[in-house]
Amino acid sequence: KAAIRADGDRLAAEAGGTVEWSESLLDQVANLVETPRAMLGGFHEKFLELPAEVLLTSMETHQKSFGLRGADGKLLPYFLTAANIESREPALVRKGWERVLRARLEDARFFWEADCSATFEQWLDKLDKVIFIGPLGTMGDKTRRLEKLAASIAARIAPELSADMARAGRLSKADLVSEMVYEFDDLQGKMGGIYARMKGEGETVARALYEQYLPAGQDSPLPGNMAGVILSLADKLDNLAGCFGLGMMPTGAADPYALRRNALGVCRIVLEKGLTLDLADLLREAQAGYTGVEWKLEPAEALDKLMDFFGQRLRAYWNAQGVQTLVLEAAMAPGFADIFETWRRVEALADFSREADFEASVLTFKRAANIIRKQAGQELSGQIREDLLEGEAEKAFWTALQGVEPEWARLAEAGDYPKMLALLGVLRPVVDGFFDGVMVMCDDEALRTNRLNLLQRLVTTLGRVADFGKFQV
């Protein structure tokens, strides 16, 4: 690899450009040659009229070659490849490579011209004959679902884009029946965006189509604009809702529809773009978009499995970032449908877990949570009878709790979880005093219930941030 890169950079500099290195292609080429010799070739400038994406893909796919860019960022009429030997007649070898590439580029030019003469409406008609996934209908059905789902997501986070996103959803899969994508399937989405721009659909629609399949992997780039974000979310949620409804969940050995990647893509987009969305609500809407499908799982059951699936993806993603499992379990216990809001709780709780009094706080509030958990069969109203508060410890607990609850609610509304956790310093001493001086499970039923209601109020209040019962200290 190093030899190819060094020779390639030198030859490119002599031609006045830089190599458009593709790491995956460079790995392939390095494995194909034992004694690599970089070679520079050229092609007719007329082919520069083709989109750069088409030229680069044609070079990479058919000739395992790299493109060159000039100082202005535009492609130059050159390509770089690697031969397996140092030829005695390099000019003859170069001419052979150029001849083959010219034929490939002529093909690409033919596909481009054919697609330029077609209309989106013609392509949309063809989508009704292209199967999506077995019982889930056609690609035409999918675009009609995405038309509604993308507009609905836009209404939540970018209302001004709703009309454009409906159009983008409708056109999202049109390029699948284009000549270019039929030849180069890696260009799906990108060609849709290029054709949309060329055919006058508008920049918002064009960018949405171009970026709809991003991110392509765990570390790959996200859509760079809100239109791409919305269409990408809609596409992935539609895929997940359909496959889970048919019971097509990934197994340890197989994930043929890339559902793990789809779910992780949704999580990354929401987290890295800071979006406030209700995941469960969106999945229900995606499910409702399907009509006439014989589901293997009832929608409610499929939704439960989907949420569990997303929970697994989030835990793995955050674990990889160094967040402790117990912190995640505690922070996710109140629910994680709002993924970004959940992350704010996770961050606050992770910071709190590094404070000196963390273990003492956990022991106190975990004790309260465990007592309430053991009363699972008893209905507790959370209503406190002040006439049954016997000692100073009970009264101090109730007074402190009443003082904290409104502030806790205000901070929860603002999502200020660090300040919420800071309030635990006010509660912990009085809760410790309550446990030290009061017999919660006393014989008197009225007193016992009142004391349990105090703890119930405490646990419910704390539960807006975390379930402290999940911690082990």
Q: Tokens at residue 410, please?
A: 């205000």
Domain ranges of the chain: 2-117, 124-322, 344-470
Local mean pLDDT, 10-residue blocks, the chain (473 residues)? 92 96 92 86 97 97 95 97 78 92 97 98 98 96 99 98 99 99 97 98 98 94 98 99 97 93 98 98 99 96 98 97 96 97 97 93 93 86 94 96 94 94 92 96 95 94 92 82
344-470: which CATH architecture?
A: Orthogonal Bundle (1.10)
Local structure of residue 83 (DSSP, 8 states): E
Q: What share of the chain is helix, strand, coil (3-state, %, to 5)?
A: 65, 5, 30
Let me know if 35 is exposed, middle or buried by CB neighbors in 10 A (0-12, 13-18, 19+): exposed
For tokens 């056609």, name the residue: 138
The closest alpha carbon to 8, from 24, 30, 137, belongs to: 30
Q: What angle do CA 399, 400, 405 make, to 5 degrees?
A: 105
Q: Tens digit of pLDDT for each residue in 122-177?
A: 999 999 999 999 999 999 999 999 999 999 999 999 999 999 999 999 999 999 99
Query: Cβ atoms within 10 A of the Cβ of 114, count?
Result: 12
Q: In this structure, which amino acid lies at residue 43?
A: F
Contact criterion met (CB below 8 Å) for 56 and 20: yes
DSSP sequence for 378-427: S-------GGG--SHHHHHHHHHHHHHHHHHHHHHHHT-HHHHHHTHHHH
- Helix axis angle, 2-14 to 23-32, nearest 10°: 110
Report which secondary-structure segment, H or E, holds 38. strand 37-42
pTM score of the predicted model: 0.92
* Contact status, residue 339 vs residue 267, Cβ threshold 8 Å: yes
What pLDDT is attached to residue 1?
85
**DSSP letters of 115-181?**
HHHS-HHHHHHHHTTSBSSGGG-BHHHHHHHHHHHHHHHHHHH-GGGHHHHHHHHHHTTGGGGSHHH
Q: The sheet that has 75-83: what strands, in order across it?
A: 18-19, 66-69, 75-83, 37-42
Report the pLDDT value the prediction gives residue 109, as an integer from 0 to 100.
Answer: 98
